[in-house]
Amino acid sequence: MKIDHDYLKGLLEAFEASNSPTTNIQELDQAGFNYKEDKFIFHLRILTDQNLVQPERGYSLGYVKGADGQVSWSVLPLRLTASGHEFLEAIRNSEVWDSIKSEFKDASIGTLWRVSKNLLEGYTKKKVTSLLSSEE
């Protein structure tokens, strides 16, 4: 399965939109992300692989797939990590987002994270330089 950039961004935004420090699969389901779908499972797992999202300390992700292919979930607290917030900040920048969508369509989550971080840093440096030169 390939990463769906828009789905990934929306899922991160759903984590951030929680009214508490954590969310869970039921809240994400109410936000439009059906936790029973393979697409949800795939994207949540790659976010946890990169430590952008993680279960609260002492908990597992809550996802179990049996030998018969049946999926079961435990409703456990999940949180957006500091790195997850940074990644979301980067992909919210329109220049970063446009570059990712056009130049990195098939990139892995690790590449998306590194590229978005580097692009945001570059755009931020340009903006700071511009602001400093306008003050002179």
DSSP code at position 56? P
Q: How high is the pLDDT of residue 9?
A: 95
> Does the pLDDT at position 66 exceed 90?
no
* 92 has pLDDT over 70: yes
Q: Which of 47, 45, 123 is nearest to 83 (CA)?
A: 47
Tokens of 131: 């602001």
Q: Pick the more confident residue, 130 or 84.
A: 84
User: What confidence tier does 135 reach under pLDDT thresholds 50, 70, 90?
Assistant: low
Structure-block tokens of residue 12: 């991160």
Q: Tell me what pLDDT residue 105 has.
A: 86
Per-residue pLDDT at 115 exceeds 80 = yes
Q: Alpha helix locations (H) across the chain?
A: 5-16, 25-30, 38-49, 82-92, 94-103, 109-135
Between these two residues, 23 and 127, which has the higher pLDDT value? 23
pLDDT at position 18 is 94
Read off the DSSP letter of residue 23.
B
Q: How far apart are CA 23 and CA 12, in angstroms?
A: 11
Q: Could you tell me if 112 and 100 are in contact, meaning their C-beta atoms sit under 8 angstroms apart?
A: yes
For residue 79, the surrounding DSSP H or E stretch is strand 78-80
Q: What is the mean pLDDT of residues 90-104?
A: 91
Q: What is the pTM of this model?
A: 0.85
Q: How many C-beta neighbours within 10 Å does residue 109 have?
A: 17
Give tens-digit pLDDT for 21-57.
999 999 999 999 999 999 999 999 999 999 999 998 8
Beta bridge partners of 64: 72
To which residue do tokens 């940074």 refer?
86
